[in-house]
Amino acid sequence: MFDTLTQRFEVVFSGLRGKGKLSEKDIDQALREVRLALLEADVNVAVVRSFLARVKERAISEDVSKSITPGQQVIKIVHEELTNTLGSETAELVKTSPPLVILMVGLQGSGKTTTSGKLAKLLHSQGKKPLLVAADLQRPAAIDQLETLGRRISVPVYVDRKVKAPKLVKAALKEASTSGRDVVIVDTAGRLQIDDVLMKELASVRKNSEADEVLLVVDAMTGQDAVNVASGFQDQIGITGVVLSKLDGDARGGAAISVGEVTGAPIKFAGVGEGLDALEAFHPERMASRILGMGDVLTLIERAESAFDEEQAEQTAAKLQKGEFTLEDFLEQFQAMKSMGPLQDILAMLPGSGSLLREVDVDDRDLKRVEAIIQSMTPEERRNPKIIGGSRKRRIASGSGQRPQDVNRLLKQFTDTQRMMKTLAGSKGTPSLDALMSGRQKR
């Protein structure tokens, strides 16, 4: 995500950090590099101009040149102004008396139907009772797709293939009221913002639904074109927020940086993967940190807390302290970690990891090989790896599609880890499990 832009910023910032004093000429030179980086990332020209003007004004007025750490001061200003460009604060869904009606709009192929399912799953996990409405009558496959998604996430889908979208939505609202559903998510047909006929139909759907939220789903990989789409929908329909789909595949960042400032509509959610649980609230400050190569520790913590059961984590920590951690425990933790997303994305959330990731080849396939080896073991072998002799190693290697040397390497690494944990547990300076947990609760 934003890999190219992050690399460019890292080069600019490394030059700033290396200087004890910064003149106005130094600041201008750095901002020229920032300008090129943003334009190459396909950020809207007007947005780039406004952003740089704000950064320069603050950098000069706050007298960065006299600061003890002038480079850090400029970086801080860039971070704050990029956060403002992305939306300043996290924008939540409006709070209203149920049902909350959300209209999902956008171009065909933007990921609207899948995003509707993801949003329903996210709200369901928060204790809401969503109802999905299949109002995309232009593409019959969209109805089938939404019904499939509904079954997968255990959320009902309202369908009526015989009526037009405005009438269908009205009937769906009655159904939601009758069945006690507190959120109605309407998946509308994809349409171009210049198609007057379809836009008038969408306006009628919005009127009939009395939508509280109109969320425009934008493919983040379309770059600056996303701004034109968003502006068109804002002018003709009026949108209350933006959802960036496929943000995990966007190496440039043009849409994310531009769309909020141009339309005035905040980015509320971001799709960060293909899975139905890969939809997150959009946090401008965190995203600015990631773009600038500063990591995103808060999101990493939230993903970890959702992936790992707290009671199980305590039991695992206790086993580690006692040196009783087995390959079976490792497999459970490994599978939980996989639900946090690709390893490269997880590591990218750590501050300063950008250069490391470029030097080290992080491949999820390597982790899958480790998982395959452990899964090829019997439960007894996982609990007591010492019983694994030559014939067992050959059987495990054959079952996992690996070589006996790979099994040997994994067993050695695991033994070394166990030995290290026993040493740490016996050290006087090692904090107790209770102390670690109390610190976690305070955070």
Residue spans per domain, the chain: 3-86, 100-291, 301-442
Main-chain phi, psi angles of 244, to 5 degrees: -90, 110
Pairing of strands 183-188, 100-106: parallel
Tell me which residue of 266, 437, 273, 438 sits closest to 345, measured CA to CA. Answer: 273
Determine the average pLDDT of the residues in 19-35: 83
Rg (CA), the chain: 26
CA–CA distances in Å: residue 139 to residues 69, 134, 151, 157, 167? 58, 10, 19, 16, 17
Q: Is the dihedral of CA 162, 165, 171, 173 positive or negative?
A: positive
Distance between CA atoms of residues 361 and 295, nearest Å: 19
pLDDT bucket at 435, cuts 50 / 70 / 90: very low
Q: Class for domain 3-86, per CATH?
A: mainly alpha
Among 126-135, 157-166, 294-303, 355-364, which stretch is predicted with the lowest mean pLDDT? 355-364
Per residue in 292-305, pLDDT (tens digit) is 877 656 666 666 66
The pLDDT value given to residue 128: 95
Q: Which CATH architecture has domain 301-442?
A: Orthogonal Bundle (1.10)
The pLDDT value given to residue 236: 84
The pLDDT value given to residue 155: 95
Joined tokens for residue 30:
């750095």
Tell me which residue of 304, 310, 260 sits closest to 44, measured CA to CA. Answer: 260
Task: Indicate if 301-442 has the same CATH topology as 100-291.
Answer: no
Distance between CA atoms of residues 248 and 258, nearest Å: 17
Per residue in 387-415, pLDDT (tens digit) is 999 999 999 999 999 999 989 988 888 88
Distance between CA atoms of residues 203 and 234, nearest Å: 12
Alpha helices in 210-308 (DSSP H): 225-236, 254-263, 284-291, 297-307
Beta bridge mates, 245 = 219
- The number of helices, as runs of H, and strands, as runs of E, in the chain is 21, 8
Residue type at position 316:
T
Which residue would you say has higher pLDDT here, 129 or 295?
129
Q: Are 260 and 230 in contact (CB under 8 A)?
A: no
Tell me which residue of 305, 373, 369, 375 sits closest to 340, measured CA to CA. Answer: 305
Which residue would you say has higher pLDDT here, 262 or 340?
262
The pLDDT value given to residue 442: 42
> Is 191 a residue whose pLDDT tops 80?
no
Alpha helices in 237-309 (DSSP H): 254-263, 284-291, 297-307
The pLDDT value given to residue 157: 96
Q: Are 55 and 75 in contact (CB under 8 A)?
A: no
The widest CA-to-CA distance across the chain, in whole angstroms, is 74
Cα three-residue angle 341-347-352, rounded to 5 degrees: 150
Tell me which residue of 200, 202, 264 sits closest to 234, measured CA to CA. Answer: 264
- Assess if CATH 1.25.40.20 describes domain 100-291: no
Q: Are 218 and 243 in contact (CB under 8 A)?
A: yes
Distance between CA atoms of residues 119 and 110, nearest Å: 15
- The chain-wide mean pLDDT, for the chain, equals 81
> Is 27 a residue whose pLDDT tops 90?
no
pLDDT bucket at 428, cuts 50 / 70 / 90: very low
The pLDDT value given to residue 124: 95
Among 64-68, 204-208, 230-234, 349-353, which stretch is predicted with the lowest mean pLDDT? 349-353
> Is 114 a residue whose pLDDT tops 60?
yes
